[in-house]
Chains A and B, each alone.
Chain A
């Protein structure tokens, strides 16, 4: 277990900067997620912590030891980390037990200790019976469990997880998500989890760092990220809010030809602003601007209504209503967040 500290980390590939001055402190034993769309720099950040990429500027320390700076670079094999890859990366020419034993073998542990710790690690991921199997005989979910056991077997200072669930189907993903949470509670290892899936990030983490275009937009507890996103991007990415460009005048938000009344609990300052409102925070009823319905999508527990709002589309989720596309309905804000520009 160790803490990880990034200070002003920069990374560019040729002329394109991928990571632009990230500073981040991960406490010992903490589970942190790097969340963001593809190309936001989250995987590059993780790979720099792993030592698979070198940084251009800044410093990275693990457990108080400087591992990467402009002056020097500790190679990945000397960092005592564990890593789980999206593509499993289970060596197809080694059996399950040989895969898991590899890190211990490199540490020249006695074979009795290796055997005992491999058995234990395989028990952690419920693969005790599969030790002698070859990877080609395992399913995707089982392969990823082998990878997790291999990453944890040598008591790494930090466990790095690079989209470990993305290659699995939905049911397996949920199952393995639960197992990662259980392992984490049991072992207390510091974990850094890279994902583009907000549900995974919110469900597992102590803190979530939302990344966008190479910078951290917000870093907070999952509850705070969800309830009070600090930028329109975070509001849009986590919780999928509608983002409307317009201006505030008194208690009104004017968006093109339409005017929304702002609810009482929203504090407003006059001037241009971005309004973020989640689909479930809008209400169809008797107040608010009248908007033409574009489409109606039945979601099961609720119904999604899509309205034309100027050039964009406004999504509303609520109880089913008998409206047909083309008809107009009044839409009112129940809650919203304002970001002055």
Chain B
């Protein structure tokens, strides 16, 4: 045998017959459930009589585009302004309480932004918000562009915070020490060396935060539609058009394309920035990090960080908790458990909870298994493709699935499969949507995990007499437990209260937790919505705590 660089291509026997079939199967499934719907969406947009420019340039569309751009830029700018200084402080200085602060600022990543929005409605509704009850009506108004930017910026904070923190922790500390020896003060070192080196990562995260805000549906709906004057965004307009049925559908499709183009541009920019950051950071060898002393700034900076953490994350969650025990919304009049007993005993809630838990567990299982499958093929193209649905705004994905698999349009291409795939108006459609959307979680985690597993482990098993498949199960798979469990949990938590896809794809007369939350909060009963939100936040906190405990035990 010749000495080929085999390391790059160690899969479950890439290129062997069964493996090739497996790859083909995965690719076909992805094409069928994602590629085809997207193509059909584009095909719909080419329907005769539909002039794109007319739809895009209509006053209400321009208003929606402006709403999306302003709130997304606002959210991204807010997240950048808060997250970058925080990351610098937490990663590179002796700020007290770094651990708890990091955990609190990361928490929004695990929560649906809608819950933060609910918290702020409870706090800063101009008439009935708790802050306004305390400080006088009209002091704060969370509705409108500013409020949406603020809430989405908080929810998207971890998207900037975490990559910046990671870039800073990978920084070779001798780069900073060299600056000190050159005569730079600690602050000067932080600003002229550490910050510029972490900036590509921070900017790439900021672009992702913009994308996240532009794709958001729940928060702009909650805080935009009922604002005065109303603040439409592209996602809420698309939703409105879809609700109008056949007449609105073409317009929804054309607006979706607009959102899609926007997303693509931002995503490409973000990728380029992230790549630039990689090049800059990889030159350092990374020695042990020595945090900088803050001197007399220690206490003021720590207090400021704590206040920020409380205001941005803790306060809205507390407000949700308080709302769930307020007998009458918008009045400070004692506490009551009536919402809790009402919601927990309600058959509709129980029904929705069971459906959500089942769907989330099934989707998480599928995502983990399929993600592992995609990662083991070691085909970069398949991995990239599996990441695409997550990058696409949920509203657009839902619309594409709706067009492809609703009864009306199915016959166009899938006549023969009509009986097998009656997805339209069924819960199965949600399962497909959840799985496709979050496939990236599984593929990413599994691929990262596989990249860290020493390939010689499986080779040793092969030489001990195991078949390729057996070697994979006996030697490689056990090393992947942590990333796979993480993929399952993240997908599960995201799907349990998934809102954007659910609102558009839920069969009539059924509920999942996300749609129930949306409906209760938007139309009927904020107190009951708060109960569901509270229960979910507690679930997240318990799971995160459990994960931390397990991680700590493993470290010892």
CB distance from A65 to the nearest CB of B (A): 16
- What residues on B are CB-neighbors of A150 within 8 Å? 178, 182
| Residues of chain B at interface, number, CB under 8 A | 25
A89 lies within 8 A of B183 (CB): no
Distance between Cα atoms of A90 and B193 in the complex (Å): 11
Interface window among B154-162, B278-286, B463-471:
B278-286
Per-position binary interface string of chain A over residues 76-92, scored 1 when its CB falls under 8 Å from any chain B CB and 0 otherwise = 11111111011111111
Within the complex, which residue of A90, A103, A167 is in contact with B183, where a contact is CB–CB below 8 Å?
A103
Within the complex, which residue of B174, B183, B197, B283 is in contact with A85, where a contact is CB–CB below 8 Å?
B174
B175 — nearest CB in chain A belongs to which residue? A89
A87 lies within 8 A of B280 (CB): no
Contacts A93-B197, A93-B280 given; does A85 touch B184 at CB 8 Å: no
Distance between Cα atoms of A92 and B194 in the complex (Å): 11
A106 interfacial contact with B, CB 8 Å: yes
Per-position binary interface string of chain B over residues 164-187, scored 1 when its CB falls under 8 Å from any chain A CB and 0 otherwise = 000000001011011111111110
Contacts A93-B197, A135-B283 given; does A87 touch B182 at CB 8 Å: no
- What residues on B are CB-neighbors of A80 within 8 Å? 183
Q: Number of contacts between A and B (CB, 8 Å)?
A: 82
CB distance from B137 to the nearest CB of A (A): 51
A101 — nearest CB in chain B belongs to which residue? B182
Output the residue of B177, B182, B281, B283 with the most chain A CB within 10 A. B182
A81 lies within 8 A of B280 (CB): no
- What residues on B are CB-neighbors of A79 within 8 Å? 181
A85 — nearest CB in chain B belongs to which residue? B174
Per-position binary interface string of chain B over residues 192-204, scored 1 when its CB falls under 8 Å from any chain A CB and 0 otherwise = 0100110000000
B280 lies within 8 A of A89 (CB): no
Distance between Cα atoms of A154 and B184 in the complex (Å): 13
Within the complex, which residue of A76, A91, A93, A167 is in contact with B181, where a contact is CB–CB below 8 Å?
A76
B174 lies within 8 A of A87 (CB): yes
Distance between Cα atoms of A9 and B193 in the complex (Å): 31
A136 interfacial contact with B, CB 8 Å: yes
CB distance from B38 to the nearest CB of A (A): 38
A interface: dominant SS: loop
A83 lies within 8 A of B183 (CB): no
Classify chain A's interface size: 20 to 34
B20 interfacial contact with A, CB 8 Å: no
A50 interfacial contact with B, CB 8 Å: yes
A162 — nearest CB in chain B belongs to which residue? B174
Distance between Cα atoms of A236 and B130 in the complex (Å): 76
B53 interfacial contact with A, CB 8 Å: no
Output the residue of B178, B197, B283 with the most chain A CB within 10 A. B178
- What residues on A are CB-neighbors of B285 within 8 Å? 86-87, 167
Per-position binary interface string of chain B over residues 256-292, scored 1 when its CB falls under 8 Å from any chain A CB and 0 otherwise = 0000000000000000000000011101110100100
- What residues on A are CB-neighbors of B197 within 8 Å? 91-93
B379 interfacial contact with A, CB 8 Å: no
B481 interfacial contact with A, CB 8 Å: no
Distance between Cα atoms of A50 and B180 in the complex (Å): 10
A83 lies within 8 A of B178 (CB): yes
Within the complex, which residue of A76, A88, A106, A136 is in contact with B177, where a contact is CB–CB below 8 Å?
A76
Which A residues from 123 to 149 make CB contacts under 8 A with B? 135-136, 147
B199 — nearest CB in chain A belongs to which residue? A93
A83 lies within 8 A of B181 (CB): yes
CB distance from A106 to the nearest CB of B (A): 4
A91 lies within 8 A of B185 (CB): no
CB distance from A296 to the nearest CB of B (A): 30
A77 lies within 8 A of B184 (CB): yes
Distance between Cα atoms of A91 and B283 in the complex (Å): 9
B338 interfacial contact with A, CB 8 Å: no
Distance between Cα atoms of A289 and B290 in the complex (Å): 55
- What residues on A are CB-neighbors of B193 within 8 Å? 91
B185 — nearest CB in chain A belongs to which residue? A77
B188 — nearest CB in chain A belongs to which residue? A106
Q: Which residues of B contact A (CB under 8 A)?
A: 172, 174-175, 177-186, 188, 193, 196-197, 279-281, 283-285, 287, 290
Sort A-B residue pairs by CB-CB distance and give the 9 closest, nearest first: A103-B182, A89-B174, A89-B178, A106-B183, A85-B174, A76-B180, A87-B285, A83-B181, A92-B280
10 contacting pairs across A/B (C-beta < 8 A): A78-B183, A83-B177, A87-B285, A91-B178, A92-B197, A92-B280, A106-B184, A135-B283, A136-B283, A154-B182
Q: Which residues of A contact B (CB under 8 A)?
A: 50-52, 75-83, 85-93, 102-103, 106-107, 135-136, 147, 150-151, 154, 160, 167
